[in-house]
A = this chain, B = another copy of it.
Amino acid sequence: MENVAALPALESRIATLVAQYAGVPAGMTVPRTCAAVMDAVAGQGVVSSEGGKRLRALLALATFDAVRGGTGADGDDPGRSAVMDLACAIEVFQTAALVHDDIIDDSDLRRGKPSAHRALAAALSDAPQPDHAGRGLGIMLGDLLATASVAIAHDAASRLPKTQPIMRAFLNMHREVEIGQVLDLAVEEAPLDRPEALASSSLGVFRWKTASYTTIAPIELGLLAAGTNTTKARAIAESVGAPLGLAFQLADDLIDVIGSPSSTGKPVGGDIREGKRTVLLADALIAADGADRAELIRMFEAPVRDGDDVARAISLFGSTGAIDRSRGRIATLWHAADAAVGDAAGMLGLSDEGRALLAGACARFLPAHLRER
């Protein structure tokens, strides 16, 4: 039922692929005086790729294995090494998106380490304008990783049936996430005086910016690699992946506020401190009385928020019922995703083992306490 055994192999394969596809191509050289900067960028590509939870790759692999009827870890299916690379390509794309996202958001940290553009600025500390150079190199690193993700997917797809549908789905994933980032920026600019619109917009944006590449594309790509026809693969991926991806993003936002049982020591309330427009905030604004609502609006329209603001916002998210409402939204979406897995198992003729494998990979996107209603 578990395929997390694939994790070490995934991690090492991602590092190999990034070094191979995002650096200087084999047999070519760059001018000697520029080599140190190029090495710093290529090296940062590998560093930025490390340490993800690999949920997306594991979901793609589980989907493929569920249909093919085995975990295939012993490499007996010749297509499986190609699917492994395809799964890695999704992770490399995520890294590309995060590198640009951190520049857009001016973020200092990612996965507990300096964000790519900050690390590159530090590497170029002797340059006349290290921050400017770091940001420029960060934009190019994101571009290099995005190109690498497509090239990895292309070479993997070439070794699989349905080569062209796989490439179309992969490029469609890129496009949906890019549109999602645009929509996310639009939401961040939205006024706070219409919280119902904010809640529905945010949920709508989650389909684009999160579900697209987190759950929908991994399922779709896993199915296509296993030979499922294009229309059926898309329909199943959407029916399972859309509610699961929304639940995942809601849970991510909720855990930022309530903390995680298996907390990594990440400070609670980071999104509030950044003034992020979340569904939690929208739900709190909707349910708050006049004074509380005015206080929240004032707080989130201010240029910065301090520790007292964060504590007060969390308290209001609780007292207005916004936290409970998010729990309810997550549980409902999870049950929809789980039911869709059941339907998909029927449509795909999965064995009990296959079904459990897919359901297990889906369940991993949410902590157990948020899956129960």
B167, A154: Cβ atoms closer than 8 Å: yes
Q: Is the CB of A235 closer than 8 A to any CB of chain B?
A: no
Contact residue among B139, B197, B208 (Cβ-Cβ distance under 8 Å from A103): B139
Q: What residues make up the interface of A, taking CB atoms closer than 8 Å to B? A: 21-22, 24-25, 30-34, 36-38, 41, 100, 103-104, 124, 127-128, 133, 135-137, 139-144, 146-148, 150-151, 154, 158, 164, 167-168, 171-172, 174-176, 178-179, 181-183, 185-190, 197-198, 200-201, 204-205, 208
CA distance A97 to B41 in the complex (A): 18
CA distance A360 to B136 in the complex (A): 37
A181, B140: Cβ atoms closer than 8 Å: yes
Chain B residues in 8 Å Cβ range of A22 = 175
Contact residue among B37, B135, B154, B178 (Cβ-Cβ distance under 8 Å from A189): B37
Which partner residue on chain B sits nearest A164 by CB separation? B158
From A32, A34, A171, A198, residue with most partner B Cβ within 10 Å: A34
Chain B residues in 8 Å Cβ range of A200 = 31
A171, B151: Cβ atoms closer than 8 Å: yes
Contact residue among B154, B164, B179 (Cβ-Cβ distance under 8 Å from A24): B179
How far does the Cβ of A225 sit from chain B's closest Cβ, in whole Å? 17
Chain B residues in 8 Å Cβ range of A100 = 139-140, 143
How far does the Cβ of A318 sit from chain B's closest Cβ, in whole Å? 27
Which partner residue on chain B sits nearest A134 by CB separation? B185
Supposing A104-B139, A133-B189, A190-B33 touch, asked if A41 and B182 sit within 8 A by C-beta, the answer is yes
User: 4 more A-B contacts (CB under 8 A) besides A21-B175, A100-B140, A133-B188?
Assistant: A30-B208, A140-B182, A140-B185, A147-B171
CA distance A312 to B59 in the complex (A): 63
CA distance A263 to B257 in the complex (A): 60
Contact residue among B37, B164, B172, B205 (Cβ-Cβ distance under 8 Å from A186): B37
CA distance A187 to B262 in the complex (A): 47
CA distance A293 to B306 in the complex (A): 53
How far does the Cβ of A128 sit from chain B's closest Cβ, in whole Å? 7
How far does the Cβ of A172 sit from chain B's closest Cβ, in whole Å? 7
How far does the Cβ of A181 sit from chain B's closest Cβ, in whole Å? 5
B178, A147: Cβ atoms closer than 8 Å: yes
A136, B30: Cβ atoms closer than 8 Å: no
Supposing A175-B151, A204-B30 touch, asked if A183 and B38 sit within 8 A by C-beta, the answer is yes
CB pairs A–B below 8 angstroms (13 shown): A25-B172, A30-B183, A30-B205, A31-B187, A33-B198, A38-B179, A104-B140, A124-B189, A133-B185, A133-B188, A141-B182, A146-B146, A147-B171
B168, A201: Cβ atoms closer than 8 Å: no
Chain B residues in 8 Å Cβ range of A174 = 143, 147, 150
A144, B30: Cβ atoms closer than 8 Å: no
Supposing A100-B139, A144-B175 touch, asked if A187 and B34 sit within 8 A by C-beta, the answer is yes
Chain B residues in 8 Å Cβ range of A25 = 172, 175-176
Supposing A174-B147, A204-B31 touch, asked if A38 and B154 sit within 8 A by C-beta, the answer is no
Which partner residue on chain B sits nearest A29 by CB separation? B204
Contact residue among B24, B31, B136, B143 (Cβ-Cβ distance under 8 Å from A201): B31
Chain B residues in 8 Å Cβ range of A175 = 21-22, 25, 144, 147-148, 151
